[in-house]
Structure 1
């Protein structure tokens, strides 16, 4: 729950532990933190009360509280699509944590670098036999080392909270953005590939924060401080090293950037492997049925081989870069040591100065080596992030208008007014299509495949945008209302029922998340589900499996009907709801549908014309146009396309 402002809410509810008691929730805005205090009226609350309240308040995940009012904020958060702005978008969400990590790292590096000077000072004191200064020099060095370690631990502790919070925010936001895409977006992409990219994006930004905080910022700052400190021994040495380091850094960055194409190819191939894996697992019964196990293994092995090849090219490119850096920095460090020894021979540097140059030289050597490794790893992660964002953050093709309004309490009158629609790259499916369905009327859509029946249902739910015309519910253009309020007015029972890998009760409650168990039982009873649910091992708590694989087709269909009962929307859409069932299952489903349709506006696409015999109207479609429109009795009595379809279907049934 997101809290905005200060206030309180009083909730009276018939809880299990407290019968008809009032619970007060007080809240305040603390940069997204939401400490809530719950108490019974006239007494203190307990942990069980809070647990019950959380269950009540977590029904709608996007609720926002404004000074005692609960409102539903369904606006999708806008996310930057370019990589660097995307990263900084999340850094700015946790400014205190990131600033603390940054300052801790800078302080730790400063103390570590100054400790090198502390070593020089101690060596000079010892070599000069300045006995009185030995312990003070040691104390300074010990203090610097202690401060160095303490700073690292502070930064590390804060980062465990901040970086994890960023990853959680990112994955929630990406999920929110993904759920705003239309069905067409998901139809063109493998689910496993999308899931893999969400995971890869979260991992990439976590790795980038880790790399920058522990492997890029420390050596960079250490090299800068080391070069500055070398000026105490030789300003010329310091200036020379600064120029060489800048040149080396520029070469490494240019070289690393040229490998982006290889890293992006690897990220694409890795996502494709994830997609293939999930696709095959989801269709494993089909693979077994066609004896295609060996074929799929070979196909997957080929995908993995492509990924391995791309990854090998990416890693070998980075290794060449590391090899160049290692040789160059080793030679540079050796040169610094020779330079320091020559200064010592000419009495221009003390023994402590030589020790300082040695320690700083190795500091620079190891620092630039770590920096080079981190930078090339960062380039890889940035490439993965860029590739994932290019797919995940595509703009939504279905958006609410800025002034979109919610649909008032609907009665269910539906009208298509001069609607023209074509799928991308195809000729129009509907052409100047007009249809009026009064509230409470049951209308069946029939026709041959490709006549536009399912498209009518798709457009009515605004799953795609119209080319021309309007669709109205109770006189309101659906393009001007929020998608959420439109969907609230419509229940659907599809041919291919979609169920979550959750319990029976969770799947039924999907139509009304806050429904009581009594309401769920009533919906199950009305949908003819109660008997088979009670026969399941754990009843309503039985997990139905991926897409309901543990249930029969008829059982899945009846669960979908129970879900629609619970939703209790004024408009009901039936898309071939009984076409894939055997006769016994069809009869059970049809009884449930007859109950569900009572008092609702119904628009149904049906293959079996017999299921429409009790409908008020049947509309016969062909090539996106209406050929016939009338009652079942009227159409059956008159010559025309409907009678031809009915005769053809009767002959097919007789032949069986």
Structure 2
């Protein structure tokens, strides 16, 4: 639950630049993998690692009471095996990470195509999309085979070490018996416990394989969680908007952290309170970007934006966005009821207020004809509504 909370909070507070550069499907896949990895990690520790370590330590402890020299010898060999597992783990981690990333990319592509299924069908691109999907799947399969071949290689090394431990133990026991250092009964006891310990050491191979997969699955989202959020509130102080006098002063902005297209350079615009402004320009000139910067979906590279002589960068994001009524260019709806979508900016709105807003948007005429009226679920992105109804 705590991991889900951290992931959700991180993703919903990320900048529009972050979400523009990441597949939604990939983010969902990475989130699911991290949550599942945490559960698998604790299951592996509780039901695999602890029993194996307990069995090995108990075996060594019992042998120590009978013949401490042999127990020390066996413990040293076990440590050598553990060291080999450590280095094998370092070899496998990059392979598992690459395989997990390829899997995430494949899942993200699938989600993207499903989201735009109507577009794919409209242009009869099913075959082309399937071919692209198979390219993603083939890439994932290659990474998966790379993991499997690596695991076979390290498993072979582990098996050789296990055999070496068993042979060395037999030689040690036979030597001690021939020189009458131990009895035949103790030889049997030593070999029995040695076989058990070697079997448990082999189980470590499977545990480490599971661990590598867990780390690979968790890696991408963990990396995202460790990065700072691009746009954050500089303080908890709320901005006080009374008139709505907006000023863009000597503003500079470039997409993709200064590496993309330069949109504004020393841009200045003064919009007096109460004045209506229409932005005219060719596609990509920054009309929509100008409004998004006002809401701090991204931060400017230089200069400042102020409302009523208050620099918006010095106040909390929540208070800033609650002070601005924003209508997006594209109709975006949640897979919820019409009531929840209309009242999204004011969750405690009464039905009377919701109906008034629907009437003002010329939406009430079609809403009242629906069987469930305001309780009608609109589907993902509002797909159950027509294009015109979504725009309302």
Normalising by structure 1, report the TM-score: 0.56
Secondary structure of 1:444's aligned partner:
coil
Q: For the aligned residues, what is the CA RMSD? A: 2.2
Secondary structure of 1:491's aligned partner:
coil
Where does 1:393-404 land on structure 2 (aligned, <5 Å)? 393-401=226-234, 403-404=235-236
1:552 has 2:386 as partner = yes
Give the distance between the partners of 1:514 and 1:355, measured in 2 at CA.
77
Give the distance between the partners of 1:472 and 1:207, measured in 2 at CA.
49
Match of 1:304 among 137, 140, 144: 137
Where does 1:201-240 land on structure 2 (aligned, <5 Å)? 201-240=34-73
Match of 1:434 among 268, 283, 296: 268
1:407 maps to which residue?
239
1:420 has 2:245 as partner = no
Secondary structure of 1:535's aligned partner:
coil
Q: Report how far residue 341 of structure 1 moved.
A: 6.6
2:209 maps to which residue?
376
What whole-Å deviation, never above 9, does each CA across 1:281-340 have from its counterpart, x for those lacking one? 011111111111011111111211111121121022113322332343245346545655
- Report if the CA contact (8 A) 2:367-2:374 is conserved: yes
1:150 maps to which residue?
none
Give the distance between the partners of 2:187 and 2:142, measured in 1 at CA.
48
Change (3 A) 1:414 1:347: closer
What whole-Å deviation, never above 9, does each CA across 1:416-462 have from its counterpart, x for those lacking one? 22223222334642233332323332222223334332222121111
Give the distance between the partners of 1:515 and 1:404, measured in 2 at CA.
26
Match of 2:117 among 262, 284, 297: 284
Give the distance between the partners of 1:355 and 1:240, measured in 2 at CA.
17
2:337 maps to which residue?
503
1:182 has 2:15 as partner = yes
Match of 1:445 among 258, 279, 286: 279
Higher-strand-fraction structure: 1
Give the distance between the partners of 2:265 and 2:173, measured in 1 at CA.
86
- Report if the CA contact (8 A) 2:263-2:285 is conserved: yes
Match of 1:471 among 305, 312, 319: 305
Q: Report how far residue 410 of structure 1 moved.
A: 3.5
Change (3 A) 1:393 1:194: farther
- Report if the CA contact (8 A) 1:398-1:463 is conserved: yes
Unaligned runs of 5+ in 1: 1-167, 559-656
Give the distance between the partners of 1:309 and 1:392, measured in 2 at CA.
28
Relative contact order (C-alpha < 8 Å, sep 6+): which is higher? 2
1:487 has 2:321 as partner = yes
Q: Report how far residue 233 of structure 1 moved.
A: 2.2
Give the distance between the partners of 2:310 and 2:216, measured in 1 at CA.
46
Match of 1:266 among 99, 106, 112: 99
1:253 has 2:253 as partner = no
Give the paired residue count: 389
Unaligned runs of 5+ in 2: none
Secondary structure of 1:492's aligned partner:
coil
1:454 has 2:288 as partner = yes
- Report if the CA contact (8 A) 1:326-1:369 is conserved: yes
Secondary structure of 1:472's aligned partner:
strand
Secondary structure of 2:326's aligned partner:
strand
1:193 maps to which residue?
26
Secondary structure of 1:407's aligned partner:
coil
Q: Report how far residue 553 of structure 1 moved.
A: 2.3
Deviating beyond 6 angstroms after TM superposition, the runs of 4 or more aligned structure 1 residues are none
What whole-Å deviation, never above 9, does each CA across 1:225-280 have from its counterpart, x for those lacking one? 32232122222211111111111211121122112221111011001001100000
Give the distance between the partners of 2:344 and 2:239, measured in 1 at CA.
21
Change (3 A) 1:374 1:186: same
- Report if the CA contact (8 A) 2:99-2:216 is conserved: no
Give the distance between the partners of 1:384 and 1:500, measured in 2 at CA.
29
1:595 maps to which residue?
none
1:171 has 2:1 as partner = no
Q: Report how far residue 481 of structure 1 moved.
A: 0.6
- Report if the CA contact (8 A) 2:97-2:215 is conserved: no
- Report if the CA contact (8 A) 2:15-2:231 is conserved: yes
Q: Which has the larger radius of gyration?
A: 1
Normalising by structure 2, report the TM-score: 0.92
Secondary structure of 1:554's aligned partner:
helix
